[in-house]
Amino acid sequence: MSGLERCPVTDWQTDFDHTAPEYAADAPAIWQELRETCPVAHTDRFGGTWLPTRHEDISAVAHDTEHFTSRGVIVSVFEPETPAPVGYAPPITSDPPFHQIARGLLLPAFAPKAIRPLEAPTRAFCSQLIDQILVDLPASGVVDVAEQYAQHIPVRVIAHMLGVPAEDGDRFRGFIHRILEMAGQNDEPVSAEDTMVHYIFTQIEKRRGEPSDDLIGFLLQAEIDGVPLTDEHIVGTIALILLAGIDTTWSAIGASIWYFAQHPQECARLIAQPELMPFAIEEMLRAFAPVTMARKVAQDVNLGGKQLLEGDWVLLPFPSANRDPEFFENPNEVILDREKNRHAAFGLGIHRCLGSNLARMELTVALEEWLAKVPEFELAEPEAVLWSTGQVRGPRKLPIRIPAAGTPRTAKGAT
Amino acid sequence: MKISFNREACQGHNRCYLLAPELFDVDDEGYAVLLVTGDVPEQLHAKAQLAVDNCPEYAITLTEENPPA
């Protein structure tokens, strides 16, 4: 917790706080109540922030780049300094027309066929992690899968893509915690050498004059209209890939394991019917979408009957859109073979998550490997599960119990 | 059954490519490419419907054949 005092929320319609632990713990119920009673909620916190909870309103904002700017995407008391249309972390903070140029540079590296070669090493890494967990398993059979499994997978994949040492992962998680989970709430001084920007500059300097085939090297050689990218652009984009690619995917992997730990029959069904996996993955993404994006109002506009003023923040809780009964049948029910699933876990409109194919691959591989080696598991202490606060929601503590030595399924029945 | 694809609406979610690779490919930037023109072969009707029902941007539409005049 930060040392800053936080006023407790007494009314979610007029004084919500998406950074409050009680929001993190119970967000789906809060969204449902707001959808039914006050579908565009407001708070004076963070300088004035709106929270639409219906799919229709969230989709409208995500598709409207005229009235809403991406100049700010993390709601905090600090005003983003870098102006539109570039913003501080292109392309996520960029608006048209620059957005398309900055995004176009990165799209090929994240297209489905480009990320396919990452699947085998990701699978091998997941397998190693699980083997180690089983070797280290205490007599109680209890392990925190958020800490010991889920969080390591995207860290390794992103480090590989950026071309930085896998051991730097712990530092990444520190950056993420400060910048995303505790946005604007830090009161502890951070030394200059320990900042993400310093880390990224160090990595850039290493590659100057020494071309590398990783993403950092690619950005150093990239040009827009024959002009190399500015240092601010390169640093911002690397920061984006580092921040956006890790705790999001970690959250989705953790939330999926959390679900299956509580639904052994559905877990057994998925193991028995692996052809359900592509549908099950999308259903996990729908039901437990980790990411809430944000915009700033660029021009006064009406949204769901509320008048939004220039400069206001607007949160885009895609996971709430994914549970809107106007848009999905039985939205609170997890249906592994749901065939009609236009979920918005990766956003909507021009800012569709750049890393969605990577995230989907990681989630699929992480779950497949887990279920293959640990077909039976349960929550060890349901009340000990801790969900992250802020705009990325997922389990940060997830103790599960693996019964009787967690022997691989193939060994079952053997004597 | 005819299928049509609106490239302007496509944002590269790639759901169609995953669910119906017989009908959709992706280009180097990850945007969908419709592989069939006009009629969808009968054996792919179900997959075409899946592609429609899972596109978050409503970029794919299916229309029944015009009834005989």
Please state, in angstroms and rounded to a whole number, the distance separating the CA atoms of residues A229 and A216. Answer: 12
Please state, in angstroms and rounded to a whole number, the distance separating the CA atoms of residues B20 and B16. Answer: 5
Q: What six digits make up the tokens of A319?
A: 């996971």
- pLDDT, residue A326, reads 98
Residue B29 CB-density burial (10 A; 0-12 exposed, 13-18 middle, 19+ buried): middle
Please state, in angstroms and rounded to a whole number, the distance separating the CA atoms of residues A43 and A51. Answer: 8
Q: What six digits make up the tokens of A395?
A: 């389990």
Average pLDDT of chain B to the nearest whole number? 94
By the 8 A CB rule, do A53 and A203 touch?
no
| A143 three-class SS | strand
* Strands, E assignment, chain B: 2-5, 24-26, 32-34, 60-63
Measure CB to CB from residue A342 to each of B11, B28, B54 and give the nearest one: B54
Q: Is residue B13 part of a domain?
A: yes
Number of H helices, E strands in chain A: 17, 14
pLDDT in tens, chain A (415 residues): 444 567 889 899 999 999 999 999 999 999 999 999 999 999 999 999 999 999 999 999 999 999 999 999 999 888 888 888 999 999 999 999 999 999 999 999 999 999 999 999 999 999 999 999 999 999 999 999 999 999 999 999 999 999 999 899 878 888 887 877 666 666 677 788 888 999 999 999 999 878 899 999 999 999 999 999 999 999 999 999 988 999 999 999 999 999 999 999 999 999 999 999 999 999 999 999 999 999 999 999 999 999 999 999 999 999 999 999 999 999 999 999 999 999 999 999 999 999 999 999 999 999 999 999 999 999 999 999 999 999 999 999 999 999 975 444 444 333 3
Contacts of A346 in chain B (CB under 8 A): 13, 56
Q: Is residue B19 part of a domain?
A: yes
Interhelix angle for A169-176 vs A196-207, to 10°? 140
A350 at B interface, C-beta within 8 A = yes
Q: Is residue B44 part of a domain?
A: yes
Of residues A12, A67, A71, the one with CA closest to residue A45: A12
Q: Is residue B41 part of a domain?
A: yes
- pLDDT, residue B64, reads 85
Q: Is residue B69 part of a domain?
A: no
Question: Nearest CA to CA, how far is A349 from chain B (Å)?
Answer: 6
CATH number at residue B35: 3.30.70.20
* Complex confidence, ipTM: 0.95
Domain that holds residue B55: 2-63
Pairs across A and B, CB distance < 8 A: 55
Question: Looking at the 3D structure of chain B, how many domains does it have?
Answer: 1
Please state, in angstroms and rounded to a whole number, the distance separating the CA atoms of residues A155 and A166. Answer: 8
Q: Does the predicted model carry a pTM greater than 0.90?
A: yes
Measure CB to CB from residue A112 to each of B11, B17, B58 and give the nearest one: B17
- pLDDT, residue A20, reads 93
Q: Are strands A49-52 and A313-317 parallel, antiparallel or unpaired?
A: parallel
Question: Nearest CA to CA, how far is B68 from chain A (Å)?
Answer: 31
Q: Is residue B68 part of a domain?
A: no
| A337 three-class SS | coil
Residue B60 backbone phi and psi in degrees, to 5: -120, 135
Q: Which of A316, A341, A351 is the mutation pick for testing B, counting most B CBs within 10 A?
A: A341
**Sign (positive/negative) of CA torsion B37, B40, B46, B49?**
positive
Q: What six digits make up the tokens of A6?
A: 């936080």
- pLDDT, residue A414, reads 38
- pLDDT, residue B66, reads 63
Q: Which of B6, B8, B11, B53 is the mutation pick for testing A, counting most A CBs within 10 A?
A: B11
A 375-404: CB under 8 A from B: none
Average pLDDT over residues B34-50: 95
CB contact under 8 A, B11 and A350: yes
Task: Express as a percent the part of chain B with pLDDT over 90.
Answer: 88
The 10 Å Cβ neighbour count of residue B9 is 14
A47 φ/ψ sector (left φ>0, alpha ψ -120 to 50, else beta): left
Q: Is residue B42 part of a domain?
A: yes
Question: Nearest CA to CA, how far is B30 from chain A (Å)?
Answer: 5
Contacts of B27 in chain A (CB under 8 A): 111
Q: Which domains does chain A have, with CATH numbers?
A: 12-404 (1.10.630.10)
Give me the residues paired with residue B34 across strands: B24
Q: Is residue B8 part of a domain?
A: yes
